[in-house]
């Protein structure tokens, strides 16, 4: 289902079916199977350049981290971790999934695997302008239930909070590759 050269395990067909159905839900525009595939491309890149301490847990965290996604709720990460656990994921994978609720709030990632995982999830912030705009439009669609003025204020607050951080990316690997582009994208979007 998900393309990954360094996948440390094969997902059982029943798990693949659950994930395929989840990532195809109609309320999603950005948090789709394509997002998971993009994060898995970074998983491959990190595997080749740096390596993973616990690739199985990171892999499970990637494929499950947005499996439950209801933009009207605040417990998506916890529910995604529960789903991962029900499909055999480790405590570590669930811890990583729960960390995604902290995007932009952690001063530092607890370890290298967490840093690379969180950075891979937010790599889109440092994408080319066209991909970044598509991401931003996807997020706007997913939050279309929020009144436009409230959405805009919340979105700008998030972008500015990311810009206020000393580093957007926790790991040197992502910092060196994406930090400048992410700052450019966020600065332009925060001004619009």
Which residue, 38, 162, 49, 64, is CA-closest to 112?
49
Q: What is the mean pLDDT of residues 139-144?
A: 96
pLDDT in tens, 150-170: 999 999 998 899 999 999 999
Domain ranges of the chain: 13-191
pLDDT of residue 1: 81
pLDDT in tens, 79-120: 999 999 999 999 999 999 999 999 888 999 999 999 999 999
Task: Count other C-beta atoms under 10 Å from residue 188's C-beta.
Answer: 13
DSSP for 73-128, written as a single string:
-S-HHHHHHHHHHHTT--HHHHHHHHHGGGTTT-SS-SSHHHHHHHHHHTGGGGS-
Helices and strands per DSSP (H, E), number in the chain: 9, 0
State the pTM of this model. 0.96
Task: Count other C-beta atoms under 10 Å from residue 91's C-beta.
Answer: 10
Which residue, 171, 192, 185, is CA-closest to 49?
171
pLDDT of residue 116: 98
CA distance 158 to 104: 8
pLDDT in tens, 20-38: 999 999 999 999 999 999 9
- Kindly state the tokens that stand for 126: 């440092």
CA distance 74 to 182: 25
pLDDT in tens, 36-72: 999 999 999 999 999 999 999 999 999 999 999 999 9
Split at pLDDT 50, 70, 90, the class of 191 is: confident
pLDDT of residue 192: 57
Which residues have CB under 8 Å from 10's CB, separation 6+? none
Split at pLDDT 50, 70, 90, the class of 179 is: very high
């Amino acid at each position: 289902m998900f393309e990954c050269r360094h996948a440390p395990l094969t997902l059982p067909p029943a798990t693949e079916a659950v994930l395929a159905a989840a990532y195809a839900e109609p309320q999603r525009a950005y948090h789709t199977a394509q997002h998971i595939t993009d994060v898995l491309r970074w998983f491959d890149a990190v595997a080749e350049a740096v390596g993973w301490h616990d690739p199985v847990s990171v892999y499970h965290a990637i494929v499950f981290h947005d499996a439950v996604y209801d933009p009207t709720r605040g417990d998506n990460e916890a529910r995604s971790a529960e789903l991962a656990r029900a499909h055999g994921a480790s405590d570590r994978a669930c811890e990583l999934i729960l960390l995604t609720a902290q995007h932009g709030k952690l001063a530092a990632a607890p370890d290298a695997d967490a840093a690379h995982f969180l950075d891979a999830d937010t790599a889109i912030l440092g994408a080319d302008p066209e991909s970044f705009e598509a991401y931003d439009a996807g997020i706007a669609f997913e939050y279309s239930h929020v009144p436009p003025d409230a959405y805009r204020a919340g979105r700008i607050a998030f972008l500015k909070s990311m810009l206020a951080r000393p580093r957007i990316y926790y790991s040197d690997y992502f910092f060196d590759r994406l930090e400048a582009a992410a700052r450019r994208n966020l600065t332009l979007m925060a001004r619009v």
